[in-house]
Chains A and B, each alone.
Chain A
Amino acid sequence: QTVVTQEPSFSVSPGGTVTVTCGASSGSVSTSYYPSWFQQTPGQAPRTLIYNTNTRSSGVPDRFSGSILGNKAALTITGAQADDESDYYCVLYMGGGVWVFGGGTKLTVL
């Protein structure tokens, strides 16, 4: 089964920009993988930020954006705020009705 990889952790200063990536062991990630991004704080259900590569979910601030960067899906936070400190997960569609989540990225804002 394809493994989906993310950076385990990242640190960003308030107001700074950070890009989290989502790669697949099967090869280059494209829009055909329908990448989505989720934010999760402790004890809470995931919240969908981005779907279908770059479409923001309702109510998500525009400082969150999604894209394909090189051979990976990417989530960029521009102008990070303290309450962006969370775990971030991507999910990719592998075909055949199967989705695979990435291992998650713990973002620290300090």
Chain B
Amino acid sequence: DQQVKQNSPSLSVQEGRISILNCDYTNSMFDYFLWYKKYPAEGPTFLISISSIKDKNEDGRFTVFLNKSAKHLSRHIVPSQPGDSAVYFCAASDDTNAGKSTFGDGTTLTVKP
């Protein structure tokens, strides 16, 4: 049973428009959520996180929303830029589990000029 799911393997948007990356989870013990970005032939790099005590976290063009009742989080990029094209992973963890993170399968975002 996959505890963290990214149901869209790919997403294509036009430059300047909004990109919305979605992630669903099933484990109600998760209390910390992270987004990572990955380019080909590189390791993932951390982007933004959100704790379960919050429902929104903003960082410039990027905003993460957390809906705990729906066990759903999303990451919005506004405006999208071609340099945002990459694979995005969401991950979830809980303090009781040695800080281990469970990752989704990733969404490949393509931003067209």
* A and B part of one assembly: no
